[in-house]
């Protein structure tokens, strides 16, 4: 196997799951998410030689996916529906059907995109606010503010649920 293909396969093994989850939350459709991830990897394959720092390809892949999403789907944003709860087959909660989990999913879905996206990148991608800023084209401070506000909103929404227990 040549070096480029081996490098590419490593990117698939290590990052495909995170990218897919991020894509589903971005476009709210698993089929489109699948297409988006495939397009991302196709572009990554074609531009692999341009990857400057081979030790940090993750932000690069997320940026490609994000740009591809903006290119393909941004004009359809007004038509996007809420995320279908059926596609959220929760991996680590044993299909948590509690009221709290339901409320959290709805709350996440209702967050404005400018707040939800940095939060997704932090929680799903494990990125620092500096990396989030670089991916989203905003400053580190702006990324911190948006993540803070997103969590603040979620806490406000969840608070009555927690208190009602």
CA distance 34 to 92: 21
Torsions phi, psi for 43 (to 5 deg): -65, -40
Q: Which is nearer to another protein, 38 or 67 (CB)?
A: 38
Query: If you search the block for the tokens 């709350």, which residue do you land on?
Result: 107
Q: Does 90 bind another protein (CB under 8 A)?
A: yes
For position 28 contacting another protein by CB under 8 A, the verdict is no
Q: Which of 64, 119, 135, 136 binds another protein (CB under 8 A)?
A: 119
Angle between helices 129-136 and 57-73 (to 10 degrees): 40
In the range 121-140, which residues lie near another protein by CB under 8 A? 122-124, 126, 128-130, 140
**Cα separation, 96 vs 162, whole angstroms:** 15
Q: How far is the CB of 71 from another protein (least distance, A)?
A: 18
Stretch that binds another protein, among 33-41, 60-68, 71-79 (CB under 8 A): 33-41
Nearest-angstrom CA–CA distance, 150 and 136: 15
Dihedral angle sign, alpha carbons of residues 95, 156, 109, 62 = negative
Which positions touch another protein (CB under 8 A)?
3, 5-17, 20-21, 24-25, 30, 34, 37-38, 41-42, 45-46, 54-57, 87-93, 96, 100-101, 104-105, 108, 119-120, 122-124, 126, 128-130, 140, 143-145, 147-148, 151-152, 154-155, 158
């Amino acid at each position: 196997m040549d070096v480029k293909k081996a490098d590419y396969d490593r990117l698939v093994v290590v990052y495909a799951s995170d990218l897919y989850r991020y894509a589903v939350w971005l476009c709210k459709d698993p089929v489109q998410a699948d297409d988006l991830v495939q397009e991302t990897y196709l572009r990554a394959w074609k531009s692999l030689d341009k990857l400057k720092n081979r030790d940090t390809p993750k932000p690069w892949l997320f940026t490609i996916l994000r740009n591809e999403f903006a290119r393909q789907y941004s004009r359809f944003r007004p038509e996007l529906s809420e995320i279908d709860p059926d596609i959220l087959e929760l991996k680590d909660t044993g299909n948590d059907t509690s009221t709290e989990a339901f409320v959290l999913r709805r709350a996440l879905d209702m967050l404005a995109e400018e707040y939800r996206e940095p939060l997704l990148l932090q929680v799903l991608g494990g990125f620092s606010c500096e990396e989030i800023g670089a991916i989203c084209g905003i400053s580190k401070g702006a990324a911190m503010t948006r993540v803070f506000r997103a969590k603040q909103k979620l806490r406000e929404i969840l608070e009555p649920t927690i208190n009602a227990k």
